[in-house]
Amino acid sequence: MTNVFVLGTGRCGTVTFARACEHIGGFTSGHETRARQIGEARFDYPDDHIEVDNRLSWFLGGLARRFDDDSTLYVHLTRERSAVVESFERRWDSAFRASIIRAFGHGIVSRSADWSVDERRAVCGFYVDTVNQNVAEFVAGRRSIALQLELLDEQFVPFAEQIGGLVDADAALEELRVRHNSSDPVVGRQEPDGSDQL
């Protein structure tokens, strides 16, 4: 195994998963480490690296072109749908300029007018379904596994063993119990470079 890419919608435990991966020996890991890059630099991940980045779901063609299927594992990380939808709804009005849900609601779905509060849930649901369908189709013909946030206590150690990593199970499972990047309340967000963004 050379590289592991964890794909998903966001709001599904990606920060928590990345922190747990720090306890897998033989791999580096990170969360959105190349998210501010464009072009080929977007894909400059080191070998033996676990990258957790929901925005990679929009760069699947570039990943497939850059990384050999035989030495890459894709992880489709999910969370119970309604919890993801509600989390995105709570973040809709955040001051974070690079909000993926607003980018989807006004850019991918081409709409310049504001969405009403009542309409936002449907937009969030459409986003979640779209990303999960895109990822599922992409990984279907590739080496991949599906993990679910609510089941990571059972699934994480087998995942680490599958990629050949030496996992500190106690430390990783303890990390999985910590809520990172919570959307309750909608304040505070870290830019990928670590600078605070409200």
Q: Span 40-64, mean pLDDT? A: 97
Cis before 192 (ω within 30): no
Helix, coil or strand: residue 158: helix
pLDDT category, 197, cuts 50, 70, 90?
very low
Nearest Cα residue to 7 out of 53, 47, 58: 53
- pLDDT on residue 139: 98
Question: Which pLDDT value is given to residue 179?
Answer: 79
Say if residues 114 and 123 touch (Cβ distance below 8 Å). no
What would the mean pLDDT of 45-74 be, rounded to a whole number? 97
According to the model, what pLDDT value does residue 131 have?
A: 98
Q: State pLDDT tens for residues 139-181.
A: 999 999 999 999 999 999 999 999 999 999 999 999 999 877 6
Q: What is the pLDDT of residues 91-130, one digit of tens each?
A: 999 999 999 999 999 999 999 999 999 999 999 999 999 9
CA-based nearest residue to 172, from 182, 157, 162? 157
In this prediction, what percent of the chain has a pLDDT beyond 90?
88
Structure tokens, 94: 């955040």
Question: Helix (H, G, I), strand (E, B), or coil: what is residue 121?
Answer: helix
- Select from 124, 87, 89 the least CA-distant residue to 108: 124
Is residue 75 within 8 Å of 159, Cβ to Cβ?
A: yes
Report CA Rg, the chain.
16
* C-alpha of 138 from chain center: 15
